[in-house]
């Protein structure tokens, strides 16, 4: 990894990945249209000579000289990816094609940030990589889920038919510092609400489960995946510790010391009822498992939001 392109590099995960790779001596180019990311996430790199931010749409072809590509460009929060669903699908599909073409031209290795959403509302629990999923093709989440599934297919076909060195990681819910306060995902919503004295909005009865991975653990897994030769994945990356959204709200209230109330709002359509990764494959092939538990990760994330929100 000497010359790395990170699409979506101004976003939450992309900016942490840029920091990590610059710290290891790489030259890093971030390509981002700044739709859900922010140049503020990269502002501390303004004087770094090995860093460059290109403001561009990944759905438009681009010529660059790189040896490693991390393809992260795509809104990740349901609120944002449903805002312009056609753009979301274009970003996933055309973005994957453009980046795979670029990888082929450069002989580069390319990693796709796929998602646990490829499993949809799963009938298999916990989810293993061998499970093909339960996904609605025509629902509110389909632009994201099916876009990411199509991108996985493109990665597999470019590997089989054109010999491109591809890698697929299926990321389960990840949280941490630098999430946008207006991101709309549950961790950022609850923390912003708790810190600003607003009601915490639980969708449905709060019994739906997720398992959240702290960002540093996720970045470690992505870097290990890129460095593990002859392993294309797909591989699940996430923290298998599972809890429901009511428990999460209670933890956020406890850790912030907030007196906000919990209120209940309608559950969005196709919202998966349960989600938890089986990470046996990541343990075996990457020697990886998460180290930062939910309590520690939430405390670090709350501290970051407090600084940014000035509360
Ligand atoms: P994010 O929204 O913070 O980052 C996405 C970045 O992509 C943003 O900077 C945005 O401006 C950029 N982007 C969006 N559309 C673009 C386009 N057409 N051209 C160029 N840039 C574009 O989200 P994140 O949490 O950092 O997610 C990064 C990647 O990881 C996404 O592909 C997402 O699907 C995947 N992922 C994230 C999670 C998670 O829990 N964070 C879970 C599963 C998968
Ligand atoms: N959620 C919630 N309140 C919020 C935002 C989200 O209860 O303010 C719920 C949402 O319905 C889902 C879970 O929290 O069941 C995780 O939502 P998020 O958008 O973070 O991620 P995803 O649904 O993509 O896993």
pLDDT tens digits, one per residue of 252-285: 999 999 999 999 999 998 898 999 999 999 999 9
User: Is 144 a known active-site residue?
Assistant: yes
**CATH code of residue 98:** 3.40.50.720
Answering whether pTM is above 0.95, one says: yes
| Residue 15: domain span | 3-176+212-240+275-292
Residue 229, pLDDT > 80, answer yes
Do the domain assignments include residue 25?
yes
* Given 81, 119, 131, 144, the catalytic residue: 144
In the predicted model, what is the mean pLDDT of residues 68-74?
A: 98
Distance of alpha carbon 247 from alpha carbon 62, whole angstroms = 45
* pLDDT of amino acid 4: 98
Angle 225-61-135 from CA coordinates, rounded to 5°: 55
Structural domains in the chain (count): 1
Do the domain assignments include residue 12?
yes
Q: Is the CB of 78 under 6 A from ligand 2?
A: yes
148-169 pLDDT per residue, tens: 999 999 999 999 999 999 999 9
* pLDDT of amino acid 309: 92
Residue 311, pLDDT > 90, answer no
For the chain, the average pLDDT equals: 96
Find, among 5, 227, 27, the residue nearest to 106 by Cα: 5
Between the alpha carbon of residue 304 and those of residues 60, 79, 81, 179, 311, the distances in Å are: 34, 22, 24, 9, 11
Q: Is the CB of 188 under 6 A from ligand 2?
A: no
Q: Is the CB of 208 under 6 A from ligand 2?
A: yes
Do the domain assignments include residue 68?
yes
Our mutation pick for probing the ligand 2 site, out of 127, 245, 263, 298, counting the most ligand atoms within 8 A of Cβ, is 245
Instruction: Evaluate the omega torsion of the peptide bond into residue 234 and state whether it is cis, within 30 degrees of 0.
Output: yes
| 141 backbone dihedrals φ, ψ, rounded to 5° | -90, -5
Measured in Å, residue 278 CA sits from the centre of ligand 1 at 23
Do the domain assignments include residue 269?
no
Residue 168 and residue 115 in contact, taking contact as beta carbons nearer than 8 Å: no
Do the domain assignments include residue 204?
no
Find, among 276, 300, 246, 307, the residue nearest to 16 by Cα: 300
Do the domain assignments include residue 307?
no
Q: Which residues of 127-154 are buried (b: 16+ CB within 10 A; e: fewer)?
A: bebebebebeeebbbbbbbbbbbebbeb
Do the domain assignments include residue 200?
no
């Amino acid at each position: 990894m000497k010359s790395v392109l990170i699409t979506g590099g101004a976003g939450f995960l992309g900016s942490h990945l840029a920091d990590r790779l610059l710290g290891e001596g790489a030259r890093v180019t971030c390509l981002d249209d700044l739709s859900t990311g922010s140049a503020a996430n990269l502002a501390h790199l303004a004087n770094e000579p090995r860093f460059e931010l290109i403001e561009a749409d990944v759905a438009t072809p681009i010529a660059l000289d790189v040896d490693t590509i991390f393809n992260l460009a795509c809104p990740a929060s349901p609120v944002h990816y449903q805002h312009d669903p056609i753009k979301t699908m274009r970003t996933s599909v055309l973005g994957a094609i453009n980046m795979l073409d670029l990888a082929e031209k450069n002989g580069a290795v390319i990693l796709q940030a796929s998602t646990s959403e490829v499993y949809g509302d799963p009938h298999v629990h916990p989810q293993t990589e061998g499970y093909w999923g339960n996904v609605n093709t025509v629902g509110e989440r389909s632009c994201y889920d099916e876009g990411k599934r199509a991108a996985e297919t493109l990665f597999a076909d470019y590997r089989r038919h054109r010999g491109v060195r591809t890698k697929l990681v299926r990321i389960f819910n990840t949280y941490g510092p630098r999430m946008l306060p207006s991101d709309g995902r549950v961790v950022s919503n609850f923390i912003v609400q708790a810190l600003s004295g607003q009601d915490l909005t639980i969708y449905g009865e709060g019994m739906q489960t997720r398992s959240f991975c702290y960002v540093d653990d996720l970045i470690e897994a992505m870097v290990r995946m890129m460095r593990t030769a002859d392993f294309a994945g797909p591989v699940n990356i996430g923290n298998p510790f599972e809890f429901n959204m009511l428990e999460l709200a209670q933890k956020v209230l406890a850790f912030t010391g907030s007196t906000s109330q919990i209120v209940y709002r309608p559950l969005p359509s196709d919202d998966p009822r349960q989600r938890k990764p089986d990470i046996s494959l990541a343990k075996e092939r990457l020697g990886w498992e998460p180290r930062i538990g939910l309590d520690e990760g939430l405390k670090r994330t709350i501290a970051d939001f407090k600084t940014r929100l000035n509360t």
